Amino acid sequence: MPKDAVDLAAKLSSFSQYWSPKVVARLNDYEIKVVKLSGEFVWHKHDDTDELFFVIEGELTIRMRDGDVHLRSGQLFVVPRGVEHCPVARGEVHAMLIEPAGVVNTGDAGGPLTAEFDDSLA
């Protein structure tokens, strides 16, 4: 029985909402998500976990209190646990996120950009 690869671009083409990560695969107790970003998110942190950002398309800045990191296609950055950060997308950005299951996108900040859990693409 042939098995299916997970095509990130195909998954991303199936929805249009920004700041709404979708689980596309699982790795032990971690989730692999794709997300579309546009403009500035909210400052927040995750006290219990690191968070991996991998840029598929576009240009993403991750602001942090002690310095920013700039990411473009094919680049990744791991935000350490407990570090306040604010993703800022120049135009539209397509990214992959990897983190343990159950992490909420807005971390400790909450608010209107908090996304519902969505594994309908997994």
- List residues near its own copies by CB under 8 A: 1-9, 25-28, 30, 32, 49-52, 56, 64, 66-72, 74-78, 81, 98-100
Task: Compare residues 92 and 100 and give the one whose CB is closer to its own copies.
Answer: 100
- Residue pair 35/89 in contact (Cβ under 8 Å)? The answer is no
Instruction: Work out how close the CB of 94 gets to its own copies at its nearest, in angstroms, rounded to a whole number.
Output: 10
DSSP 82: T
d(CA 79, CA 64): 9
Residue 117 phi/psi, 5° resolution?
-60, 130
- Nearer residue to its own copies within complex by CB, 25 or 44: 25
